Chain A
Amino acid sequence: MTSIDQNAAEFIAEAQEIIETFSRTLLELEAQSRGSGPEPDLINAAFRAIHSLKGLAGLFGAAAIGGLAHSLENTLDSLRLGKLDLSRPVLDVLFEAIEMFGRLLAPQGEEGGGGEVDIEPVLQRLRQLGEREAESTGPQDSLEWVGENILSVLTEYEEHRLRENIKAGRNLYRVHAKFDIMQIDVGLEQLKDKMKGYGEVITYLPSADGSSDDAIELDILLGSKGSLGEINGALANPDVTVHRLTPAGDAPAAPQPAPGRSAPPAAAPKPAPPTMSEGTSRRAEPPPRAGSPTQTRTVVTTTEEPDPTSAASSEASLRSLSQTVRVDLRRLDLLMNLVGELGLVQANLTGVLDELRQIDHSADVSRELRVQIRDMHRKLALLQQGILDVRMVPIGQVFDKLARVVRKLSRDLDKEIRLVISGAETVLDKLIVEELSDPLMHMIRNCIDHGIEPAAERVALGKLPGGKIELRAFQKGNRVVIEVEDDGRGMDWTRIRDVAVRRNLLNAEEAASLTPGEAVNLIFQPGFSTRDSATELSGRGVGMDIVKTNIARLSGMIDVTTDLGRGTTFSITLPVTLAIIQALVIQSAGHTFCIPLNSVLESIMVETREIGTVEGHEVITLGGRTLPLLQLSRLFGLKPLHKNYRDPNRLYVVVVGLAQHRVGLVVDELLGQQDVVIKPLGSAVRNVPGIAGATELGANRTVLLLDVGRLVDEGVRQVDAAYQIGGGHVR
């Protein structure tokens, strides 16, 4: 049973990887189709991706996915054979198919998941594309001048590329190369790389000549704009000869043996381009074959170091994907646990060392032991870091998905939107990246829906007709910041304030003292975002409280700044990993708990006489604001051991807060700060409100980690309720 589950998981993971690659390729192709025209290699990559998906689906008996992949494969085949142009409608269907795959792969029972996805509409549209293609194929030129011996072995695709090259007015060369049999892979790759700078490699053919035992000779068909002299100069190599093929018909039937470095023959004037019977070429010149996906996309990369993959072709980057090993996160957790335990062993060893030191005559031994323990400590730290690093994935995975959303929404709403992505290579814990996609999707949706004005309105305001959304990610210390910025209409803080007052989120007094910044942050309040307020406020703030909650669950914080008429920027700050966090260790009623340090604002000592009450709830005034106090022991129903405070008139209060809400947690003791490894609670205990996880402090002690967001919400709700009953005055 588990092996089936495992197989399914394996299949889903692999299929998703393929679809992500496919999606990335499509986005690149789309960018190219707007600019210089699609690159044949990319179409090929897309074709290959879907082809392997089809194979995979067949292997696992996933009929719907297989069927869709099969239809897609046909369409992509037509695309690469030039029977079909990469037009917007075609791209639309292809993107639709990606969404469809996503839904087909979604686990059963989840929203939008399950086996009841109807792929028929997409199949239908793919078939329609196929019909259209039948009309667009026209009569073909004769290619006899290339030589029968070559023509007869070309595949349909290669022949298509050959025609495209001729259409584009390129010269055709036959490059004859001889490779040592032991080094053909290296040699061929080098030659290919060199030639790629000059044009397109259409095919490799085994040479007609009888090769010797220790050498292999190949004929390579190259389409290039360069002259014979240029090509010869570029490929300078005694084992390579270049011949030009012209429609004049002097295709050599048998190439001469390689005569050393062949100088450009004098009889090679700048040749006239081959005649083109179809008149104008439909296609623009393929762009120069430069580099990695990140360069060809409309992506601004902020790294200063050159991307190591940028020199490789897109084919190479595809290959590197398959070199990765998929590892279940749970296995990494296991390794992490082991490292944690080794840490405890090390602590014990240190204890032994201390004992040894008491004994005089073993001074040498204990010194040696100390050196060894210190060394072990360093290695352990490295090991821990290493495992953490393995969990890291580039946030680009999510950005790619968002690019699809932007594309779809901008089409649906008929707004032209440019998505500028930077920092896609910033790495975050895999868990965080997964959890981020929904909140980010929501924010992007808001941007397009309500932030970016319609083109006409933008022009009237003196803006460019097309809107711009920037997605930025960068590392800042041990945190990662993600920013979503639009150049839309921004938010009016006075209107937000007024709506908040009307919704009883704050009273008139509070509203009067509100700063613009505070007012804008009101959109994160639950209850602010209801539909009618959304329309009043040009729709901004739909479900932002949910976004905030999701981010808070990742120990992150969200902030917003807005410039009326100029745009809005949301900024999310996240820890790089959830696996290790800094925590404040506290004690309440004899129980020890950890509080994530990133949600602790300050820890203060409060005298009991400073405490007031609002409808029976304890509050203090801190920095001019009312701060509800929560007795942790009461909240958790813990029996106080006995009143053993050092001073009964003083309380320890940990001021915690996420975004706008703050409460003071009353605790008995502050035990200090510590880096802790967070371990998930099982499904049985996971849903206990107020508890976020567990961790291990020394001596095998398990300690609970508080869910601050939840506790703050509970505290604020109590006090809010009290305000509404009692009129909200602090006595």
Chain B
Amino acid sequence: MSGEREDLWQALLRSGEGVVTDEDYEHGYKREVRQDLQQYVTFRVSGEVYGLAIHEIEEISKVFQTTHVPRTADFLLGIGNVRGRIMPVIDLARRLRLRLVERGRAARVLIVHFNDEPYGLVVDEVMDVIRIPPEAMEDKPGGFTGARAEYIRALGRTGKELVIILHLPALLDAKDFVKATVYEEGRA
């Protein structure tokens, strides 16, 4: 049961907020056998595998153009515009203070929803949608004490793989976005 893989788009479509297909009406609610299996989207950032709960992700988009916003932290690539909606776009590698690698064609922007606002998270590659039963989740990982610990919500295990589940509220904390030294600039 663990490690059950599905087509990403199918899964997104099914769990997606308010997206109902004809199939849903026909087969309705009989599809799920176990109800408590949380689905996660996994993705790669600087060689490591991370995950976010599928309901936190609204859409996966190709990398789009962003506009630089002055006086903001370096992890903020800028603001982007997806079908008329303005959103901050974050370089996850910089945010997690990981070694920076060249992004290739597989790079994507995960558009997540947090506090009713959209944010874009740039990742190197989107991998899968996986299901992890609650018992395979390890809350408050003890081993992680570094600077990144606050961004981690839990560790998930699917068979042999280990997925770092990210904690959006810490990742998207508004107070980190504005550069602290703004007031010093322009005076030089």
Contacts and interface: CB of A to CB of B under 8 A. Distances in A.
Interface string A663-707: 000000000000000011111111111110010100011111000
B177 A701 contact: no
Contacts of A704: 67, 69-70, 79
B15 to A, nearest CB: 16
A340 B70 CA distance: 25
CB-CB nearest 9 A-B residue pairs: A337-B84, A636-B70, A635-B186, A682-B117, A702-B67, A684-B177, A702-B81, A684-B88, A679-B86
A686 B72 CA distance: 11
B81 A688 contact: no
Contact of B79 (A635, A687, A694): A694
Given A681-B79, A684-B119, A684-B172, A691 B188 contact: no
Which of A688, A690, A701 has its CB near the most chain B CB atoms (within 10 A)? A688
Nearest to B72: A688
B85 interface: yes
B37 interface: no
A341 interface: yes
A718 interface: yes
Contacts of A636: 70-71, 185-186
Contact of A340 (B65, B66, B84, B115): B84
B71 A688 contact: yes
Given A702-B79, A718-B187, A696 B84 contact: yes
Contacts of B79: 681, 685, 694, 702, 704
Which of B76, B86, B88, B115 has its CB near the most chain A CB atoms (within 10 A)? B86
A564 interface: no
A582 B115 CA distance: 31
Which of B79, B115, B118 has its CB near the most chain A CB atoms (within 10 A)? B79
Which of B69, B118, B178, B182 has its CB near the most chain A CB atoms (within 10 A)? B69
Contacts of A341: 83-84
B182 to A, nearest CB: 6
Given A591-B67, A691-B71, A700-B65, 12 more contacts: A338-B84, A637-B71, A637-B186, A682-B88, A683-B174, A684-B117, A684-B174, A687-B178, A696-B84, A700-B81, A702-B79, A718-B186
Interface in B143-165: none
B91 to A, nearest CB: 14
15 contacts: A334-B84, A337-B83, A634-B188, A636-B70, A636-B185, A638-B70, A682-B88, A682-B117, A687-B178, A688-B70, A688-B177, A689-B71, A702-B79, A704-B70, A718-B186
Given A337-B84, A696-B84, A691 B70 contact: yes
Contact of B67 (A683, A687, A690, A694): A694
Interface of B: 65-72, 76, 79-81, 83-88, 115, 117-119, 172, 174, 177-178, 182, 185-188
A702 B86 contact: yes
Contacts of B88: 681-682, 684-685
Nearest to B184: A637
A683 B84 contact: no
Interface in A580-606: 591
Contacts, number: 100
Contacts of B186: 630-631, 634-637, 714, 718
A338 B80 CA distance: 16
Given A634-B186, A694-B79, A682 B71 contact: no
A718 B68 CA distance: 26
Contacts of B72: 685, 688
Contacts of B119: 682, 684
A485 B162 CA distance: 70
Which of B80, B84, B117, B188 has its CB near the most chain A CB atoms (within 10 A)? B84
A682 B182 contact: no
A635 B186 CA distance: 4
Contacts of B117: 682-684
Contacts of B80: 702
Nearest to B185: A637
Nearest to A634: B186
Interface string A618-638: 000000000000110011111
A688 B117 CA distance: 17
Contacts of A703: 67
Contacts of A714: 186
B81 A685 contact: no
A636 B188 CA distance: 12
Which of A341, A682, A702 has its CB near the most chain B CB atoms (within 10 A)? A682
A638 B179 CA distance: 14
Contacts of A685: 69, 72, 76, 79, 88, 177
